[in-house]
Structure 1
Amino acid sequence: MNTTDQDRKKAWKIQQKQLARDAFPIADGLLESLFDAVDAGVEQSGCDHSLRFTTSWLLERRQPKDKVLSWLREHGGFCDCEVLANAADHWEQSR
C-alpha cells in the first residue's frame, strides 16, 4: 500500500470514529457512568437477560431512555451483559 492509500485509509478511519462519536445518544462522560453502573450491577447481581440496571440508571438520571436504549440495541445491547460486552466495546473503540 502506498503512502497516499495509507493516508486516505487513516483519514477514513478518523472520519468513521467521529461519525460514531457524533451518534452517541448522550455525552461521553454519561455513557462512561452508565457502563460503570451497569457493570457494578451485573457483577453484584448477575444478568437476568433484561435491561434492568441500564433502565434504572437512565430513569434515575432523567436521561432520554428511548434514545439511549435504541442506540444500545443498534450496537448489540439487548440485555445488561450485552450492553457491557457489545455496546460498551463499540463506545470504547469510538471515543
Structure 2
Amino acid sequence: MDASDRDRKKAWKLQQRKLAQDAFPISDALLESLFKAVDAQVENSGCDHTLRFTQSWIAEHKQPEAEILAWLREHGGFCDCEVLSNSADNWEQNR
C-alpha cells in the first residue's frame, strides 16, 4: 500500500466516523451519562433482559425515547446489558 492509498483509507475512515457521530441520537456527553448510569444499575442489580434502566434514564433526563431506543437497537442494544456491550462499544469506537 503506497502513501496515496493510506491517505485515501484514512480519509474514508474519518468520513465513516463522522457519519456515525452524526447519527448519535443525543450528544456525546448525554450518551456517556446514559452508559455510565446503565452500567452502574446493571452492576448493582444485574440485567433482566429488558431496557428498564435505559428507559428510566431516558425518562429521568427527558430525552427522546423512540429515537434513542431505535439507535440503540440498530447497534445491538436490545436489553440493558446489550446496550453496554454492543451500543456503547459502537459509541466508544466512533466518538
TM-score interval for Structure 1 and Structure 2 normalised by the shorter chain: over 0.9
Aligned residues: 95
Moved over 3 A (4+): none
**Distance of 1:56 and 1:42 partners within structure 2:** 13
Equivalent residue for 1:53?
A: 53
What is the TM-score normalised by the length of structure 2?
0.99
Give the structure-1-normalised TM-score: 0.99
Partner-residue secondary structure (3-state), 2:76 = coil
1:64 aligns with 2:64: yes
CA distance in 1, matches of 2:92, 2:12: 18
C-alpha distance in structure 2 between counterparts of 1:39 and 1:12, whole Å:
32
Per-residue CA deviations over 1:50-82 (Å, capped at 9, x if unaligned) read 000000000011100000000000000000000
Identity %: 71
Could you say what the CA RMSD is over the residues aligned between the two structures, in angstroms? Answer: 0.3
Q: Which runs of 5+ in 2 are unaligned?
A: none
Q: Structure 1: where are the runs of 5+ without partners?
A: none
Counterpart-to-counterpart distance in 2, 1:27 and 1:85: 19
